Structure 1
Amino acid sequence: MEHTAQDEAPDDIPNDLPGAEAETPAAVEEGAAAGEDSTPAEDSAVVEDDAEDAEDVSPEEEFRRELRLQPGHWYVVHSYAGYEKRVKANLENRIQSLNMEDYIFQVEVPMEDVVEIKNSQRKLVTRVRIPGYVLVRMDLTDESWGAVRHTPGVTGFVGHTHQPVPLTEDEVFSMLAPTLAPKETAKAAAGGSAPSTPIEVEFSVGESVTVTDGPFETLPATISEISPEQQKLKVLVSIFGRETPVELSFSQVAKI
């Protein structure tokens, strides 16, 4: 019986034939080229997404994140009003002299920038936000408690005498966040371009004043409204037995 060439061909083709070797590198190179084309685009997209995420994080949220990652808890100690900064310096010196750096991490006196208006002049001042109090971030132990409690100028912890209660995250944020405001913002406030900065005035609602300028000059008046940003007052002036509201500038009235 005769066999054809087709019948004599083996059923299985070895993987190491020259033809197979010729095709495999080409396929690999093509796949690699495709991978090289897509990788930079994907990396660029990831970088852009990360940049957008970073831009979306507000300074307030970033500060909260830092608070969560910091070791220890925040406690409040009493001090004599007007001696807060001195107590802070005393505490920091005592931490070093007693080698308490591993237990007491940070001491802060909450500050704020305030625009004061006196004699119609705006002046930016930095003052203690909570007079008589100092914040301390620490791990509470008998030793760290004693180091803080016996610091000159400290009159005690807020809360239980020997077991003070730490502040919550929201409490710490509300006390320390104002100190994060950039100085440029505060300076802009002095020029009147940042209305969010607190403004103190020398007048108060219900106070009696004397009108010093305008048609009602020399008449007594009572302050009913104060607009610090506009440096305006709304006062009640008694005219013919009736109280009439009049809007005046700070410079048009004087304290009695």
Structure 2
Amino acid sequence: MSEKYTDDVDWATAAEQSSEDDEAQEGNILAAEERSSEPAEHLAVHVVDDEDDVEGEDEDIDIDDPEADAIVNDALEIDEAAEAEAAAEVLTDALAEEEAEAAAQAAEEIAPYDGPDVNGEPDAPALDEEFVAEVSAVGDVVDAAEDATPDDPYEAFRAELRSLPGKWYVIHSYAGFERKVKANIEQRKNSLEVEEDIYQVEVPMEDVVEIKNGQRKMVNRVRIPGYVLVRMELNEDTWSVVRHTPGVTGFVGNAHNPTPLRFEEAFNMLKSLVQVTETAPVKGAAGKGASAPARSVITEVDFEIGETITIKEGSFAGLPGSISEIKPESGKLTVLVSLFERETPVELSFDQVTKQ
């Protein structure tokens, strides 16, 4: 019977009515809300229980919490020592900057010092310009006197040689006949009337110290044996006169067109003709070692290294020795003398030894 009842119900019509009722109810609620103009706070209901004492309860609540306080204190803990040190550094830097600025400002304000000598010495009086000039002139004269040296005779000879006419030629001669050839040429140029073109004939000489048997002897000898220098104007006549002079074997260079010497070559061969004497050093130049130039003297020694000699003077007189070194410029020998079965070097002069 229940099944029949449920089957006879018109569910569609019921659903439509229910839907309409719901819409009417919702519309009524919305309309009521629109008509209400009172604020919400007036509609709120403040419910207070007269029997409950709220303020009293608040006073009785204990808010102290040791654990929470410890956490907060740890979070807010500050290293007081570090904070104090940082503050001190900031203060020190600030003071240093202020002092530097003050020092710079003070330095700019200081005026240059224009007072007397701080060492206590009085100011020197101003010197008269004329006096200063006179002193300077005297100093120049003194300096010139100190720097002055005798005239170099070689420079004078160089200038004279450069100004002479003609050119220098070299001729061969028999060794030992150089001076004879010179005399013959001078005689022939006069007899053959070519003296105007043959100006000068020279045989370069030099001073040599010969030491033989301990004896020193100054000897003047031909510097270049077998050669004679002639200054002349070269032509057929002068060439013939010189070439056919007895003792002459020919010209240096081309036999028929000889080559003259260059100036420096002629100067070096002829400068031994200059007479140079030693003089005392110039006053004021002693400290500088200035003195007149002197002609160099060649020493010719009659000794040989390894030669056995006999010492004739000095502490080792009578002893034999062997020459180990010869010093011609100083006139000394180094001789090895046997003493106590050992060879001892002894320095001796040439005249202290003799050949065996």
Is residue 254 from structure 1 mapped to residue 354 from structure 2 by the alignment? yes
1:137 matched to 2:207? The reply is no
* TM-score of the aligned structures, taking structure 2 as reference length: 0.48
One-letter code of the match for 1:148? V
Q: What amino acid sits opposite 1:217 in the alignment? A: G
Q: Distance in 2 between matches of 1:86 and 1:120?
A: 33
Mapped to 1, the partners of 2:306 and 2:265 lie a distance apart of 33
Matched letter for residue 336 of structure 2: L
Distance in 1 between the 2:325 and 2:337 partners?
10
Aligned residue among 163, 173, 179 for 2:257:
163
Higher relative contact order (CA 8 A, sep 6+): 1
Q: Distance in 2 between matches of 1:143 and 1:227?
A: 47
Q: RMSD value over aligned CA atoms?
A: 2.9
Deviation by residue 1:188-227 (Cα, 9 ceiling, x = unmatched): xxxxxx7832233322344333344544734341231325
Separation in 2, partners of 1:91, 1:218 = 55
Deviates more, 1:219-228 or 1:62-71: 219-228
Task: Give distance in 2, aligned partners of 1:195 and 1:57.
Answer: 14
Partner of 1:222: 323
How far 1:56 moved relative to its partner? 7.4
Three-state SS of the structure 2 residue aligned to 1:221 is strand
How far 1:228 moved relative to its partner? 4.8
The answer for the alignment partner of 1:19 in structure 2 is none
Q: Does 1:177 align with 2:271?
A: yes
Distance 1:212 1:151, change over 3 A: same
| Pair 1:232 & 2:232 matched | no
- What's 1:189 paired with? none
Give 1 or 2: higher strand fraction.
Answer: 1
Q: Would you identify which runs of 4 or more consecutive aligned residues in structure 1 move more than 6 Å?
A: none
**Structure 1: distance between partners of 2:150 and 2:348:** 44
Cα distance in 1 for partners of 2:312, 2:298 equals: 27
For residue 193 of structure 2, what is the aligned residue in structure 1?
99
TM-score (norm: length of structure 1)? 0.65
Indicate the percent of aligned positions where both proteins have the same amino acid: 55
Counting matched residue pairs gives 194
Which string of whole-angstrom CA distances, capped at 9 and with x for unpartnered residues, describes residues 105-154 of structure 1? 11001112233334444433322111111100011112211111100010
Distance 1:254 1:120, change over 3 A: closer
Higher Cα Rg: structure 1 or 2? 2
Q: Deviations over 1:156-213 (max 9, x none)?
A: 111121122111111111111111124x55xxxxxxxx78322333223443333445
Give the C-alpha shift of residue 61 in structure 1. Answer: 1.7
Whole-angstrom CA distance in 1 between matches of 2:328 and 2:347? 10
Judged with a 3 Å threshold, the aligned counterparts in structure 2 of structure 1 residues 117 and 238 are, in CA distance, closer, same or farther, namely: same
Q: Distance in 2 between matches of 1:207 and 1:181?
A: 37
- Segments of 5+ residues of structure 2 without an aligned counterpart are 1-144, 279-293
